Structure 1
Amino acid sequence: MIQIQEKRSPHSFSLFNLGFRPFFLGGAVSAAMLIGFWLHLLSTSNSVNYYQSAYIWHSHEMLFGFAVAIIAGFLLTAVRNWTNIQTLYGWPLALLFLLWASARVVVFLPETPHWLIALLNLSFIPVLAVSLAIPIIRSKNFRNLIFIPILVAFFVANLLIHAELNQFLENGVEIGTKLALFLVILLITVIGGRVIPFFTERGINGVKCSKFNLIEKAIIPVTIAWLFINLTAQTILIVFLSFALAIMHLCRSFGWYSHAILSVPLIWILQFSYLFIALGFALYGFTMLEIVSRSIAFHAFTVGAIGGMTLGMMARVSLGHTGRKLAINKLVITAFVLMLAAAVVRSSINLLPLDHMTVMYISGGLWICAWALFLARYTSILIKPRKDGLYG
């Protein structure tokens, strides 16, 4: 990673100095609030008018609200390091963040035209993709252009959802939601394969992660193939690839693991959360065989893999990119434990001797508490300037 030596001096309010700051903060707030409101909708049987049902709103906002915010913050920060070219900051970054935030809020305003809700929701990803593509192309950092078509696919998934909500298409919500979820898993596969072994080796003296060349070469193409085949009715092939990917991710995790990670929370949260990808693929294979419900497989992906990975990455990136030591307190460790507990509870919903709604409240409560603890520790870090006096 390259630290750009900025001529600018940071101010006491540094929220818009670099992409991770507003989007990590906004993503964490939305993570807690969205699940809180989701539990309220479940208990009252209410819905969100534009989204037609509470379930559609919940899945859309967790993917295109929460997850996309974290992806945006990570990529705006990472591309700056990969290319040595400044990504959005200051007012342009604030406007991009406002575009994301307005799409979350506008749906609750009375008399808002449906076309305006759709426009605000659909505009964010193209603007983000262009802002990332410019420095990548200018620097000829073509290896990382892979993220641009992935963002384009995110836009297509969002377009499918809003096309059905505005009565231009049938089955757009189901296809778009699945596509968006699988794209997030693809992103974690790409990014996790890069950063987890790197962070592990850098964070623990003497630890060397093993990589299996055949798996590393195959796992991304196979994931892409699995993603597209899921849009067809090839059940047997989907089952085969799901179980194959579960084994690949499990082998990947085995190669990275060392007992030494148990003493470094910033490492074990990433490695343990990554295991939920293997679990998600295995459960999805059983889903296609009609052995377990699709919801359980999807929540292994979302609560376990996405929730745990984002929480761990945000905790580490926020420290490193604000010039702080990579050390966390008991508050953040507790957040990590609560997040993993939320994932275990939600993925075990049919095995626990509790009724469905009780398990939902327990899992949702653990999720909300995890993000509340993150915000308690990191809000000031994300707003205040770097410790070393640099701009960023």
Structure 2
Amino acid sequence: MTMADKTKREPVPRGLARTGPVILSYGFRPFFLGAGIWSATAMALWIIEVSFGIGLGGSLGGSAWHAHEMLFGYSSAALAGFLLTAIPNWTGRLPVSGKPLLGLVSLWAAGRLVLLWPALVGELTAVAIDAAFLPVLFLICAREIVAGRKWKDLKVLAALLALASANGYFHYANFVLGDVALPSRLAVGAYMMLIMIIGGRILPSFTGNWLKKRGVAHLPSPYGRFDTAALLVALVALLAWTMSPDHALTGVACLAAAGLHGIRLLRWRGWTTAPESLVLILHLAYGFVVLSFAALAAAAFGQLEPVAALHVATAGSIGAMTLAVMTRATRGHTGLELRASGLTRLSYAAVLVAGAIRPLTAVLPEVRVEIIELAGAAWILAFTLYVVEYGPVLLRKRKDLLAPRGSL
């Protein structure tokens, strides 16, 4: 065996920063913990704002603050935790840890604090602090992917760049144009593409590994031309929705994307994973992608309120998938058994309930506040359970320094 072959086959070491706090030993630890805490906290603050009006976000405005913190606050932390953990697996390079990781986490946390009350540091300073995080994350990920020569993963960078651009434009649109709908759609579209790209990698892999252990011969379909076609149609649909959400052609494109990704999901044979929630939740979360495209099509044809369709994608697709990935990766990279616990299953149920009932404000406007409160409570429960169960795990040393196969 040559040295090159040996290097390729050896797993990437974990927990490389051994002299500092354990939580800074790997990217998923601080960012998943931060995402869980902030997701629950930001939602609680939003419910208080809706119910009592506390001037949340200062000059940013309560609604804009809520949209921003869901799209660029908690979601960006969950994405950072995933990318800083997955990219070393893809490239074979060492992960970001220790002081550089602390600096990145601090930048993200600073953005959350200054946007709560921008007047404390000045609006421009608050915006500059918040807007810096995603470009820095992009540069770190780009360096690793390029250095590792993983050219096929450049599409992940494209989505990350779109998110960084959307965040910057969000602030401009809010303060200058007074309307954040376009940058919000751009951000949702970027997250949807990431879910479809990354989901196309992990869902068939995790499902196949689980089925192989049980001696099942009929495995999920591997990536092929059909998947590429489905992703291209989805990209066209999301671009059309971003630029012209109420155009008939947007509706047609979204319907086509819903059909193709519905078939794609069926090809992964998710129903066979019903006995294991840790795998099944990935398929259910991807099911919200299909529902999202159907909802966006209905909105384009004037059959559904646009805000309701948007929340199918955000509370449904993004919320369920981020929690699914956070729990799976946390268990896989901290030496826990790859099997959902009772608390984990409860958190899955809660986030699915939140995604299912939040769009109902369009159908039942007379109880809009009550629906928001109920959906928000389910959301808070889901991510609080994650923090309660996995917070201590993320903070303590793991026994195994090597990541098990199939953990990401």
Selected match of 2:204 from 197, 208, 227: 197
Judge conservation of contact 1:296–1:347 (CA < 8 Å) in 2. Answer: yes
The one-letter code matched in structure 2 to 1:355 is V
Q: Count matched residues.
A: 390
The TM-score normalised by the length of structure 1 is: 0.93
The alignment's C-alpha RMSD in Å is 2.3
Judge conservation of contact 1:284–1:294 (CA < 8 Å) in 2. Answer: yes
Q: Tell me how far apart the structure 2 counterparts of residues 313 and 239 of structure 1 sit (CA, whole Å).
A: 30
Report the secondary structure of 2:221's partner residue.
Answer: coil
Q: Tell me how far apart the structure 1 counterparts of residues 113 and 48 of structure 2 sit (CA, whole Å).
A: 17
**Which has the higher mean CA deviation after the structures are superposed, 42-51 or 75-84?**
42-51
Q: 2:328 maps to which residue? A: 316
Selected match of 1:342 from 354, 359, 362: 354
Judge conservation of contact 1:250–1:278 (CA < 8 Å) in 2. Answer: yes
Q: 2:151 maps to which residue? A: 142
Q: Tell me how far apart the structure 2 counterparts of residues 47 and 281 of structure 1 sit (CA, whole Å).
A: 34
Q: 1:265 maps to which residue? A: 277
Q: Tell me how far apart the structure 2 counterparts of residues 142 and 246 of structure 1 sit (CA, whole Å).
A: 28
Q: Report matched runs for 1:287-366 at 5 Å.
A: 287-351=299-363, 355-366=367-378
Cα gap change, 1:342 to 1:354, in 2 (>3 Å): farther
Shift of 1:148: 1.8
Judge conservation of contact 2:221–2:267 (CA < 8 Å) in 1. Answer: yes
Q: 1:117 maps to which residue? A: 126
Shift of 1:302: 1.1
Q: 1:108 maps to which residue? A: 116
Shift of 1:251: 0.8
Q: Tell me how far apart the structure 1 counterparts of residues 17 and 166 of structure 2 sit (CA, whole Å).
A: 40
**Which has the higher mean CA deviation after the structures are superposed, 149-158 or 96-105?**
149-158
Which runs of 4 or more aligned residues in structure 1 lie more than 6 Å from their structure 2 counterparts after TM superposition? none
The one-letter code matched in structure 2 to 1:184 is Y
Cα gap change, 1:263 to 1:138, in 2 (>3 Å): same
Cα gap change, 1:9 to 1:211, in 2 (>3 Å): closer
The one-letter code matched in structure 2 to 1:335 is S
The TM-score normalised by the length of structure 2 is: 0.89
Q: Report matched runs for 1:184-263 at 5 Å.
A: 184-204=191-211, 205=214, 206=216, 207-210=218-221, 213-233=224-244, 235-263=247-275
Judge conservation of contact 1:303–1:343 (CA < 8 Å) in 2. Answer: yes
Q: Tell me how far apart the structure 2 counterparts of residues 85 and 172 of structure 1 sit (CA, whole Å).
A: 42
Shift of 1:211: 5.2
Q: Tell me how far apart the structure 2 counterparts of residues 231 and 364 of structure 1 sit (CA, whole Å).
A: 26
> Unaligned stretches of 5+ in structure 2?
1-8
Q: Report matched runs for 1:93-104 at 5 Å.
A: 93-104=101-112
Q: Tell me how far apart the structure 1 counterparts of residues 32 and 370 of structure 2 sit (CA, whole Å).
A: 30
The one-letter code matched in structure 2 to 1:363 is A
Q: 2:28 maps to which residue? A: 20
Q: Tell me how far apart the structure 2 counterparts of residues 106 and 35 of structure 1 sit (CA, whole Å).
A: 17
Shift of 1:269: 0.8
The one-letter code matched in structure 2 to 1:348 is L
Shift of 1:214: 4.6
Q: 1:285 maps to which residue? A: 297
Report the secondary structure of 2:180's partner residue.
Answer: helix
Q: Tell me how far apart the structure 2 counterparts of residues 151 and 9 of structure 1 sit (CA, whole Å).
A: 26
Report the secondary structure of 2:335's partner residue.
Answer: coil
Cα gap change, 1:29 to 1:7, in 2 (>3 Å): closer
Q: 2:188 maps to which residue? A: 181
Q: 1:86 maps to which residue? A: 94
Q: Tell me how far apart the structure 2 counterparts of residues 139 and 212 of structure 1 sit (CA, whole Å).
A: 22
Q: Tell me how far apart the structure 2 counterparts of residues 288 and 81 of structure 1 sit (CA, whole Å).
A: 40
Cα gap change, 1:326 to 1:152, in 2 (>3 Å): same
Shift of 1:7: 9.5
Report the secondary structure of 1:85's partner residue.
Answer: coil
Shift of 1:359: 1.4
